[in-house]
Copies of this chain bind each other. A is one copy, B any other.
């Protein structure tokens, strides 16, 4: 059989996903498998067992990242890597992350049972703590591996109970011997659910993001004048919550105003003293702006910042603005992106050249090697919730695309 006719087993992939979904299963049909929790350990143990069944060379580094290497014909060549994360959000779904670990596992099983030898070696990986929901920030272990984050800093992250990352890593037995440090790679593929509604809306089965949107975070602090609401006439009030409400709507209107593929969101707000009969005198809210076009995102911010200052002036509410975080957009290797599209086409799957609005471990990998991602549809665009869902057929299709992409890259000289 030619390798272009190889197919993964959809039923075996489903079985693996269902076994993983049982670890930390929630009554609402999702999973809670927080990083470095007991559930994470159980899932890791199962993953390692499955790797060993394929005679892979299993290594665990001192950030808890789990690698399995399948030898190639020429093991002096840089390997092709694929992986994602086993950890989940609290009350997360059954596909986010784990699909990108079970997918390449299914690819390796397929190669194994068909005794396919690739030119280059292949690495599979589970990255520790992608979600960042127990220990902030997100994507910490792939960041350390890629040399973008400091290991000691990561070790000292604490969860809300004050437990240290490193201590929890040791507790579950996954602080490995090998230093967490990048090795040369030929290519990196990450298979993931879309986490948005675009594929579903456009009737496509496979998404090939050309890269990850830029991400700009801002923090806005407003001051008003607290007074009892009854005796204080409307005229002359400095109501910080009203000022914030006007600003929130300006942020919401920004993408329409600026055009392009921008999204702009206020997700978080704190209001003080937050008492029903006192005029709010302090409000903090956040702004999240994302776009493929960094300059457009900056221009949008300049526009909305001017609007904020006008509103603050009109309402008599002094404003303080922090430009908290800016990450430039991250274009993937277009040659690999086209490989994803071509593989999908060869397999007869309608595919879409799109963008990724969310960050992934692939963001850090993209800093050090040729990278691409494969998306499959999220039903209703829902993710980070228990009802997150993707059909088994779509899971199978995406894994077949991954198989073909990995084969193509692993057979490159």
Chain A residues close to B by CB (< 8 Å):
194-198, 213, 215, 217, 225-234, 236, 239, 241-242, 244-246, 248-249, 252, 255-256, 263-269, 271, 274-280, 286, 288, 290, 356-359, 381-385
Which B-chain residue is minimally distant from A378 (CB atoms)?
B231
The CA-CA distance from A245 to B266 in the complex, in Å, is 11
* Listed A/B pairs (8) with beta-carbon separation below 8 Å: A229-B290, A231-B356, A231-B381, A232-B263, A239-B265, A242-B249, A245-B246, A269-B271
A213-B242 contact, Cβ under 8 Å, with A267-B280, A275-B268: no
> How many copies of this chain sit in the oligomeric assembly?
2
The CA-CA distance from A196 to B235 in the complex, in Å, is 12
Q: Which residues of B contact A242 (CB under 8 A)?
A: 248-249, 252, 266
A267-B276 contact, Cβ under 8 Å, with A228-B195, A239-B252: yes
A231 with B195: CB separation less than 8 A:
yes
The CA-CA distance from A245 to B195 in the complex, in Å, is 26
A241 with B228: CB separation less than 8 A:
no
Q: Which residues of B contact A256 (CB under 8 A)?
A: 234
A232 with B271: CB separation less than 8 A:
no
Q: Which residues of B contact A266 (CB under 8 A)?
A: 241-242
A357 with B290: CB separation less than 8 A:
no
B236 with A197: CB separation less than 8 A:
yes
Q: Which residues of B contact A383 (CB under 8 A)?
A: 227-228, 231
